[in-house]
Structure 1
Amino acid sequence: MSSIARRRLTEERKLWRRDHPYGFVAKPDTLPDGTINLMVWNCIIPGKSGTDWEGGYFPLTMHFGEDYPMKPPKCKFPQGFFHPNVYPSGTVCWCTLDEDNGWRPTITMKQILLGIQELLDQPNLVNPLQTEGFYVFMMGAMEYYRSRVLYQASQYPLIVV
């Protein structure tokens, strides 16, 4: 029997395949036996055009629980990702993904990915998680911050497979 979460993710997958933002990728994980794991998605978020993040294609993993959509997925960039709202482990902290405050079951995977793309260039400085990213941003060292962002973007170029 299919859970509510799996049915919802199956439907979101269909919608994503028909209509998704240019440059974004979101695919369920494939297990070693070739079956699809709908509960883990491998995604790519392109850096927004006209920002320092432009040119980067940032890998993000979304982990859905059996309680989705009542609870949000856990979203994670690679460990060490430089951003004030990303834990050193890579976990994204964003109000929309907070099950007690911003999360609503009607929020889709597409909206999450677009929101995280926006968060990259417009960090929430009220809730910083990464000391270095926050400190550099707040101390007015914008050139250093920009150079770190540009460097990070260069570490994640578009990979055509």
Structure 2
Amino acid sequence: MSGVAQQRLAQERKAWRKDHPFGFVAKPRCLPDGSVDMLHWDCRIPGKANTPWEGGVYPLVLKFTEDYPSNPPIASFPKGFFHPNIFDNGRVCLSIINSEKGWRPSITVKQILMGISDLLYEPNNDDPAQDYGYKIYKKDKGKYMRLVKEQARKYSDEKYSTI
């Protein structure tokens, strides 16, 4: 393993193993030959208790490039994920992972996942990414909560809770 990105991600993995939020998962992808792809991480974000997201374990992929940490990773939920700040293709719209807004090379994987977790519960009305989710969130909170609870049930399946 060589390069700044690879070294930084190895350090991030080591730090994550020592200290990560309960219920969260973040690990580099294993390739068929048994090697590790440090540039693609499979993650899980647990739904926060006492919110409509509770019970879900939300799959997220972090894709890094060789110019990390100069540039942020791309964070994506599955295509069609329901949320005002998630594009239809699953890509997360969040300032701390946007190189033109809030990205800084000092931001860690842990901070990214915590930021995305917070965004799930507290959508950013000033930066909508998904028209459908945004309109429902703004106009019909009851329907929004029902759709979030449906999604939590969808992602409570065991296949989403383990990697």
Tell me, yes or no, whether TM beats 0.5.
yes
Measured in 2, the distance between the counterparts of 1:97 and 1:42 equals 17
Paired residues for 1:101-112 under 5 Å: 101-112=101-112
Which residue of the partner structure matches residue 75 of structure 1?
75
Measured in 1, the distance between the counterparts of 2:23 and 2:142 equals 27
Amino acid at match of 2:94: W
Q: Is the 8 A contact 1:48 1:118 kept in 2?
A: no
* Shift of residue 80, structure 1, vs aligned partner: 0.2
* SS of the residue 2:91 aligns to: coil
Which residue of the partner structure matches residue 36 of structure 1?
36
* SS of the residue 2:12 aligns to: helix
Which residue of the partner structure matches residue 152 of structure 1?
151
Q: Is the 8 A contact 1:43 1:60 kept in 2?
A: yes
TM-score (norm: length of structure 2) = 0.95
* SS of the residue 1:134 aligns to: helix
Q: Deviations over 1:89-148 (max 9, x none)?
A: 000010111101100000000000011000001011111111110000111x11100000
Q: Is the 8 A contact 1:83 1:130 kept in 2?
A: yes
Task: Give the percent of matched residue pairs that are identical in Structure 1 and Structure 2.
Answer: 49
Which residue of the partner structure matches residue 53 of structure 2?
53
* Shift of residue 13, structure 1, vs aligned partner: 0.4
Runs of 4+ residues deviating >6 angstroms: none
**What is the count of residue pairs matched by the alignment?**
160
Which residue of the partner structure matches residue 18 of structure 1?
18
Measured in 2, the distance between the counterparts of 1:113 and 1:127 equals 18
TM-score (norm: length of structure 1) = 0.96
Which residue of the partner structure matches residue 99 of structure 1?
99
Measured in 2, the distance between the counterparts of 1:18 and 1:92 equals 26
* Shift of residue 158, structure 1, vs aligned partner: 5.8
Amino acid at match of 1:55: G
* Shift of residue 26, structure 1, vs aligned partner: 0.5
Amino acid at match of 2:105: P
Measured in 2, the distance between the counterparts of 1:131 and 1:51 equals 22
**C-alpha root-mean-square deviation of aligned residues, in Å?**
1.1
Q: Return 5+ residue gaps in structure 1 as ranges.
A: none
Q: Return 5+ residue gaps in structure 2 as ranges.
A: none
Which residue of the partner structure matches residue 118 of structure 1?
118
